Structure 1
Amino acid sequence: MIGRVFNERYKITERIGIGGMAEVYKAQDQVLGRTVAVKVMLPQYAADPEFTARFKQEAASAANLQSPYIVNVYDWGQDGGTYFIVMEYVRGTDLKTAVQQRGAINQRKVAEIGSQVCQALSVAHGQDIMHRDIKPQNIMVQPDGNVKVMDFGIARAKNSVKAKTSSVLGTAHYISPEQAQGKELDGASDMYSLGCVLYEAATGQLPFDGPDAVSVAMRQVNEAPLPPSQVKPDISPDLEAIIMKAMEKNPANRFQTVRDMKHALDDFLMGRPLNLAGASAASAPTSVMGAAPAVMGTEGGTAVMQPLTPGNSGPMQQATNFRMDDDSEKKSRKKTVGIVVGLIAGIIAIAAVAMALLGGGEAKVPNVVGQTQDSAVQAIEAAGYVVGDVTEEYSADVVAGRVCKQDPEADSALEKGGKVNIVISKGVEKGSIPDLSGMTAEQAEKAIKDAGYTPQYAGNEVSEADADTVSKQDPAAGKEADKGTTVKYWISTGPEDIEVPNVVGYDQASAKSTLEKAGFTVSVATGSYSDEYAEGEVMSQTPNGGKLGKGETVTITVSKGQDPDKKAINIPNVVGMTQSQAQSALAEAGFRYNVSETSSNSVEKGTVISQSQTGTGKKGDTITITVSTGPSSNGGNGNGNGNDNSDGSGNGNGNDNSDGSGNGNGNAGVTDPEETSKS
């Protein structure tokens, strides 16, 4: 797999790990130049339609979830029968490895991790998506300490039409009782799983274990977990209360929402009293507002203090981890009750003295976050304080018109008469979505973040936009939206390739119009002379046919027409002209000439008697003209032979004919065409 490139884009560089149905690789996105993680379905599952559907569902579900605590999904697809998902590459280690290497984690860090996972789940639950497989292996701890939840591989939307919606797909050590029983699930199931994760992180030990998955699942259904403090005594009672409430067997006894669980964890981190309203009597070893009360018991004849546990419903209940006869037991009960009553009376007395000493001095500031301004003012004044500065600011967590912050914070110690400043929420800040047209992916990401929104790369598409620039965005540019809104953008792969028309033989204007209508840019080049294509006609084009991207250039080459040197022209009629006139006329017309001579009794000497060609001819053709030498001499029959002399003259001998004419043959020299044979 190393070196393979998926969809001509994602080059695999190294293997990261393997899960139940897929392997995960580190890869390089060769388009955007960034490191990504590629999750590849194992080949034995690729042919299974159900697994394939789940794999696709993971991508579709996770791609819509945007949170700083959720691993982003960038892309997914199929290449050569292999299904893959492209995700954000997260540096760090998973929580399971961290616990295995270090044991129990610092309690505050456990609460921080829990709060961030709650935030991630809140985003998912807000879209009716349950994770269904929350476990420490799916929680990545980054170098900066923040976490990212990954692998929504078995998540499903509530409106899914899949038949087996209740299948037990989670990991047995972390599944909820209802998930183990194959019941319909909601967000409470994820909270239970998170409770198991926090239990393990805080104690270094699983809440339930066994020889196999079935036995572990049965324990999830039937057994209550051992309180964390009995595994690790220094566990904070408040953190223990949160974990135990999340792990209630009955979903109705857990937190109402993951946001409520997050608020409880945040309260623990801020040192505020917990508000676990709605917890059952046996839900946690602590009271609703603070540390657990203790009960007095005896063990081996010695008085001991015991924390309130599911077996101890209140301060008046006696511990049951001892044995004695009935009389002794009755005496012990009376004694215990007396001790407890005495302790309570003492506590009340001490509280009364404290109140008397404090009088109107230092007390705790009331919590007015979430209240209207009027209600907040009344609560602050009723507690003996003065309302200080009232300001406004945007808030994504508190609706407009209600208190989103206060200073000092709730439950802070403050002298009576002190000032409490409050900040009123203006609601979520709105802004205008930036125009991403023509931007590269990197430029788009920066523009979106700078405007206060969350960027999400949504994939590539064929588009009229230039390749590697933004082709489309959602929401549209200029639209008003809440700050923090996710802005999706698509990157263009360029226009779709189209057939190039063949315009060879067209005149230049028609060829240019045809190509431009097809969507191409036209470049015109001047060609050579041609006997086949008239002047102005396209004699060739590049490319000639095939496909080309819309908007790309097609070059047409236009003919200069017939070569002038080969073009037919009129031959002057030089018969009757003198030799010199004929030669000039032919030369001016572009012809060569050749002169021959003959005697004529009817044509004056030096006049052209005839020419070898008339009509039209090509420039440079040779025209032969015959010029008269005048009448012939009288003499008898005679045949003469003339020889060319070295000076160009010809000598010949002739015989007189009976009629007085003489015939003679002689060859004239080329330098003197008027020289004739002498007979």
Structure 2
Amino acid sequence: MTGRLLNNRYMITERVGVGGMAEVYRAQDNVLGRTVAVKVMLSQYAEDEVFTARFRQEAAAAANLQSPYIVNVYDWGQDNGTYYIVMEFVRGSDLKNAINQRGAINQRKVAEIGSQVCQALSVAHGLDIIHRDIKPQNIMVQPDGNVKVMDFGIARAKNSTMAKTSAVLGTAHYISPEQAQGKDLTPASDIYSLGVVLYESVTGKLPFDGPDAVSVAMKQVQEAPVPPSQVNPAIDSDFEAIILKAMSKNPLDRFNTALEMRRALNDYLAGRTVNVGSFNTAQTAAMTSNLPVMNAGNGAYAGAGSTSVMPALAEEAHSTGTAGSNAYLNSNNKKQGRGKTIGIVVAILAAIALIAAAVHFLGNAADGVEVPTVTGSTLEEATDSIQKAGFTVGSVQYSYDSSVEAGKVVSQDPKGGSKAKAKSKINLIISEGEETVEVPDLTNMTPEAAQKALSAAGLKYVAGAAEHSDQVASGKVARQNPEAGTSVPAGSSVTYYLSAGEETVKIPNVVGMSESKAKVTLENAGFSVEVEKASSSSVNEGDVISQTPGANSGAKAGTTVLITVSAGTKSYTVKVTAGEGGTAWAEPDTVSEGGSVTIRYQAKPGYKVSQATGATGTDFKATSNTEGSFTVNNVTQNLSISVTFVPDSSGNTNGGGNGQTGNNTNTGGGTTSN
């Protein structure tokens, strides 16, 4: 699949995950130029109408869900028999991976995750969509700590026609009791599954486990969970109450909505009183006395109608190939004995739980001492207050908290004002203040590299408008805000600006403008101006003759443009003198700079031209010429021409000799006649 181009748009680059019915790949959207995740249905299901319908249903359901805590769905389609869904590419790892690596997670962090998942579920439930498979594997934790709920692959809208095929899907460790029994589901089923997720996250252990999916599902239906505080004593009683209420066996005993559960979690996080109604841990422990018990004769639960737990797990057992579940389905004798045993054990456990609760209550009544409130105190002050009240300081943990000053108590367990045995331990969590991180230097990075660097630092990224830069190549980061090295709160946004390359400006045309107007025009366009003067007989004095670089060419702002301005024209006089024996004159006797003048001469009878000297002193030699002319070109100074005549020894009586014309050029300030 890697290297394949789907519908001439999505280039598959690498596989990042695989599920029961699909594989997920990283891909490049060649139209929008962004990284996306592409979910591709496994080939063995492509011809199954049920699976393809479910695949299309996932895209349609998820595409309508808009929440910062839900993975966005952009597109879906089919290419040569390959069905795919295009989604937002989420960086980070799933919650299950975090639990496997760390074990129990800080309870405040777990509560924050739960609150965000509740917000996502409230959006889905508002559109009559039930997720049906809430589990840690479907909750992505991003580098900034926020979560994204994904995989609505088995979500079902209430008006869906796929009720039968989708009713029993789910993962045994997280499904609700009613889901295990194949009953119609409500949003309360998602709330139960989230309760299991929170339980596992805060304890590091699943509330129900077993050798196979069927045995786990039976426990979901019949057994009460061990209170989380018995697994992790650091768990706050209010948070424990929220988890156990969500995991109530009866859907009516759970939170009415995901939004209601979110409010309870937010109250806990803010230190406000948490109200979960009349629910308490003792009630949870005693729940099993009222639960339906497996009927040894037919495998159904008494009081549950004729719905059996078996169909609910049949599809999962088939898909996972779990040997234990098949053995269960094929053994009536084992099933009967197991049902009776479970009933007895459940009754014993319930009795023990009630006795334990009663002993705990009586002990506290006899020996209970009021716990001092030390939240907001320094560790030293808290220790002093705890010891004076007859208690000891238990575990001291540190956690970032932007709402509590560094070094002061964020929370305590047991809570202040509650009763506890004298000399018992009080556990504390101390604030480390707001978590800050250093902004990395993104200069010259590609957008992908910049985003990766920011995510790794626990920061969000925002792409700003491209800017021209003569220092950074086009398409790479030219500037960022905040600047590199700045300390900012974790999760802050950093804006990066890509280079649009070196900026060039079109040079305006100023030829023919006056010098002053040309300078203003060029300077307003961002250019420097240099002026040179030149004479011109065709351009009025003070107007621009030419410009360099030429008009409409592109150049960097600040480039110097040279304009040549007309200095007008100069006039020069021409003085011609003739010796004895003839006459000479200029036509005209005044000439503009660079112009030409004709020198004419006429010898008297018996004379001829001997020579003519000009400004350069170069002689003009005439041979038997008695009359004629020559031209001086490109006059750049006053001229003084002298024509000399000598007697004509040939006896020529000036019968009209041929005049000679000389082409004269000014060299070194003089005029040369040839």
Q: TM-score range by the shorter chain?
A: 0.3 to 0.5
Point out which structure has higher relative CO (alpha carbons under 8 A, 6+ apart). 2
TM-score, structure 2 normalization: 0.44
Q: Which has the larger radius of gyration?
A: 1
TM-score, structure 1 normalization: 0.44
